[in-house]
Amino acid sequence: MITQVLIGILSGAAILTAGILIGHYGISQSSSGAPPSWLKDVAKDVDESLIEKFLSEVDNIQIQENLRELTKVPHMATTAGDEQTVQFMLKRWQDPETGLDQAWREEYMVYLSFPDPKNPNKVTVVSPSDTVLHTAREKEKSYTPDQDDPEVVQPYAAYSPAGHAKGKLVYANQGKPSDYQLLNQTIDLRGTVAITRYGGAGRAAKAINAAPYGVLGVLVYTDPLDINDGLMSDIGETYPHSWYLPPSGVERGSFNTHYGDLLTPYLAAKEETYRIPAENVTGIPNIPIQPVGFEDAYTLICELGGEAAPAAWQGAFNCTYNFGGPGFKSTSYFNNSDVKLDIFNHEEVKNSSNVMGVIRGSVEPDRYVIYGNHRDSWVHGAIDPSSGTSVMLELTRVLGSLVQQGKWRPRRSMIFGSWGAEEFGLIGSAEYTEQYFAKLSERTVAYVNVDIAVFANATLRASGMPSVQNILFAAAKQVDAPGLDSTSVYDNWVRYANRTSPALGIIPRVGYLSGAGSDYAAFVHYLGITSMDISYTYDRTKTNARIYPAYHTAYDTFDYASRFIDPGFVSHQAIARTAGNVLIRLADSLVLPLNCSDYAEILEDYLGTAMTLYEHQLRARNISMEPLKRAVASFRSAAAHLDRVIRTSDLANETPLKVRRINDQLMLLDRAFLDPLAFPNKHAYRHVIWASSDAGKPTFPGLADAFATAESSGQSRHWDKVHYHLSVLSQAIEGAAHTLVDVI
């Protein structure tokens, strides 16, 4: 009986269990709706353990070896060395074990400028009897075998016109408009040649500003004061003994005001794209210009006659910097001599490649997190740009391995771009944004740029839209500062560069992307995509160098990088960890980690400055700043509202379309600040908050520039432009605020 009962109980239990199992798994729940398999995926948030894993796998030695490979030969845009790096990137990104889902190249036919190897540019001092008294170096002095590579391009000013200029030398400081203006008060500049130093004005501007005064040609050099903390000698002082620039080192560069291919503005430079006639290109020098080393600059400047230049114009040479007579002192060996430029640059339309790679998103493949850096250098480009490329390759190796092993796939898609021809004017990235304008505008969450990953090994430096501050902080807090015990990158950063936020107290200072210094430009200014730029940089108490001294010279080599910039590659590693952390958070967070209240804080700061600088004079002209004040207040209150919605919603359990709605509000915020007509002279600048500005005021760029013009001319049509721009600006900010409030 007991047995029977037991059997009965047992069989009853078995039947019950079977029933339970059938009930649980066997009945299709289509009527009440079975929980679909995708439900967990769409609600998934960023996985902190994945980030831990990522951080631990980022390897400094891998970065070092990437850099060694990338810097084997010079890889100036469109050269054989460039093609070698294209192949290297493709090989890495197509690796079945550590590569991305897909990688390919995209080509553009772009307008570049080169010197002629058979007919090198020449700078000479020529006596009245046509004797050459001095010839500037044509190539930098060789200290390591790198510099002997025949592919090291002669120092030159890309886009300087070919031509010959001969005249008495004058010293024009930094070649700013005010410099030439001052100089012209003392000297008739017609027929002269000006020597200028780097800094203070854009490269092209040094020549463009000179031409109206009748200057025939311009030289430019890097003063040891600005780059070497005054040091000048290669006997024990400069590279290869330190990171400082040897006397013959010359900064190359693009002498070009605009960004993107110059012949195809606002269009992708494809083979059959319409090209404007080369003579219609604007923003490049109209007189020859050539860079020289400070060794040659010393020889020229210290012999100059005329009055002594003002104190602010003096550099590190052990002589007084005179204006020039024009020309040299009567006591000089060069007395009565001219300086002569013979420039043989030529322009050429050449095929430049971007290398692209993607990791497909699992849940929202139509949302892109883009990470990029240029690939082309001037010479070996160990720091610029290969430090960044080495970091990118390490980051894609770690992420690619996780993907290839099936351990992880990001929620959103990741796109990696290795841009071509950046050094000539951010060309590869600009053409990419022109070609894919609609798609990128609609779908891009953010762009992360890591160009020069490590300028120096002291501290993190980051710039970006204010909405990314939070994510930079979160990432930097999780990474150990290189060379410091139990200090995070964040804690180290806040010591070097901080500000007091009304809302958050003392925090690291995040810079703004208002210029066009690297490939973020087209993303920020043309597409209005939330962007950031990340690097490791200087301890400013230890150097005044305007940039790392080997910048754009033949000395920017693996040896230089590994011995003087980042021995052990630990700062590179910190950047890879920080940038990768940012990237994963952007790709995997359920709610995008972009903060619109931080944006409001910066708009308020800009507004405060604008009120202080402009309100009094504008009121006197019946131009009210009230609409701008109201717009910023609307933005603040809309941002607070959206923050509240995010904070008080249980988004993991609500419809995925609600998360998507909020994410779209965050993603598209910067797009709302675009106005393609806001800056009629520079349509590539459309973001009314971050456009470039000449006025140099820490406030809204278009307003500052319009005000400066009106104030200096006093013309009522210029005051009208101020009023016009105030309306453009106020309405853009109101428009952005409208996108943050309840969607209906």
Segment lying near a copy of itself (by CB under 8 A), choices 70-78, 245-253, 353-361, 468-476: 353-361
- Cα torsion 497, 500, 503, 505: sign: positive
Q: Which of 179, 434, 556, 598 binds a copy of itself (CB under 8 A)?
A: 434
Segment lying near a copy of itself (by CB under 8 A), choices 64-72, 268-276, 370-378, 689-697: 268-276
Consecutive H or E run containing 188? none
3 state DSSP class of 303: coil
Contacts for 621-624: CB closer than 8 Å, 24+ residues apart: 621/719, 623/719, 623/722, 623/723, 623/726
How many whole angstroms separate alpha carbon 68 and alpha carbon 574?
19
Q: Which of 5, 10, 39, 278 binds a copy of itself (CB under 8 A)?
A: 39
Q: Is 672 in the site for a copy of itself (CB under 8 A)?
A: yes
Q: Which of 133, 664, 709, 718 binds a copy of itself (CB under 8 A)?
A: 664
Q: Which of 59, 229, 442, 643 binds a copy of itself (CB under 8 A)?
A: 442
- Cα torsion 511, 517, 518, 522: sign: positive
Q: Which is nearer to a copy of itself, 468 or 684 (CB)?
A: 684
Kindly report the CA angle at 679 between 441 and 462, in degrees rounded to 5?
A: 60
Segment lying near a copy of itself (by CB under 8 A), choices 173-181, 260-268, 382-390, 445-453: 260-268
CB of 672 closer than 8 Å to CB of 596 = no
Task: Count each helix (H run) and each strand (E run) in the chain, helices first.
Answer: 22, 19
The CB-of-438 to a copy of itself minimum distance in angstroms stands at: 4
How many CB atoms neighbour CB 12 within 10 A? 11
Place of tokens 């300028």: 455
Q: Which is nearer to a copy of itself, 22 or 308 (CB)?
A: 22
Q: Is 626 in the site for a copy of itself (CB under 8 A)?
A: yes
How many whole angstroms separate alpha carbon 219 and alpha carbon 329?
19
Q: Is 268 in the site for a copy of itself (CB under 8 A)?
A: yes
Q: Is 656 in the site for a copy of itself (CB under 8 A)?
A: yes
Q: Which is nearer to a copy of itself, 182 or 363 (CB)?
A: 363
Contact positions with a copy of itself (CB under 8 A) in 367-386:
368
Q: Is 671 in the site for a copy of itself (CB under 8 A)?
A: yes
Q: Indicate the residue type of 337.
A: S
Q: How many residues bind a copy of itself (CB under 8 A)?
A: 86
Q: Which of 5, 10, 16, 61 binds a copy of itself (CB under 8 A)?
A: 16
Q: Which of these is catalytic: 140, 364, 422, 434?
A: 422
Q: Which of 21, 278, 308, 506 binds a copy of itself (CB under 8 A)?
A: 21
Residue 654: CB partners within 8 Å, gap ≥ 6?
none
Q: Which is nearer to a copy of itself, 28 or 330 (CB)?
A: 28
Q: Which is nearer to a copy of itself, 503 or 743 (CB)?
A: 743
How many whole angstroms separate alpha carbon 511 and alpha carbon 508?
10
The tokens describing 492, both together, are 């180290």
Segment lying near a copy of itself (by CB under 8 A), choices 152-160, 177-185, 564-572, 669-677: 669-677
Q: Which is nearer to a copy of itself, 52 or 654 (CB)?
A: 654
Distances (CA, A) of 234 to 84, 240, 247, 551, 564: 33, 8, 7, 17, 15
Q: Which of 91, 190, 407, 439 binds a copy of itself (CB under 8 A)?
A: 439
Q: Which is nearer to a copy of itself, 159 or 436 (CB)?
A: 436
Catalytic status, residue 422: yes
Place of tokens 């006596």: 127
Q: Is 273 in the site for a copy of itself (CB under 8 A)?
A: yes
Q: Pick from 325, 310, 305, 329: which is nearest to 182 by CA?
A: 310
Q: Which is nearer to a copy of itself, 264 or 389 (CB)?
A: 264
The CB-of-668 to a copy of itself minimum distance in angstroms stands at: 5
The CB-of-465 to a copy of itself minimum distance in angstroms stands at: 15
R_g of the chain, CA atoms, integer Å: 29
Q: Which of 5, 6, 8, 164 binds a copy of itself (CB under 8 A)?
A: 8
Q: Which of 38, 190, 307, 320 binds a copy of itself (CB under 8 A)?
A: 38
How many CB atoms neighbour CB 609 within 10 A? 15
Contact positions with a copy of itself (CB under 8 A) in 698-737:
720, 723-724, 726-728, 731, 734-736
Q: Which is nearer to a copy of itself, 127 or 624 (CB)?
A: 624
Q: Which of 5, 6, 40, 132 binds a copy of itself (CB under 8 A)?
A: 40
Q: Indicate the residue type of 734.
A: E
Q: Which is nearer to a copy of itself, 546 or 630 (CB)?
A: 630
Place of tokens 């406030």: 699
DSSP letter at 214 equals T
Q: Is 111 in the site for a copy of itself (CB under 8 A)?
A: no
Q: Is 738 in the site for a copy of itself (CB under 8 A)?
A: yes
Contact positions with a copy of itself (CB under 8 A) in 398-417:
413, 415
Q: Pick from 290, 246, 292, 253: which is nearest to 147 by CA?
A: 246
Segment lying near a copy of itself (by CB under 8 A), choices 162-170, 232-240, 432-440, 482-490: 432-440
Q: Is 681 in the site for a copy of itself (CB under 8 A)?
A: no
List 53's β-bridge partners, or say none: none
Half-sphere exposure of 214 (CA within 13 A, CB side): 10
The CB-of-408 to a copy of itself minimum distance in angstroms stands at: 16
Phi then psi for 415, rounded to 5 degrees?
Answer: -120, 130
Kindly report the CA angle at 424 between 270 and 139, in degrees rounded to 5?
A: 135
Q: Which of 140, 296, 364, 480 binds a copy of itself (CB under 8 A)?
A: 364
Segment lying near a copy of itself (by CB under 8 A), choices 60-68, 239-247, 324-332, 360-368: 360-368
The tokens describing 108, both together, are 């553009």
| Pairing status of strand 193-197 against strand 169-171 | parallel
Q: Is 61 in the site for a copy of itself (CB under 8 A)?
A: no
DSSP letter at 119 equals B
Which residues belong to the active site?
422
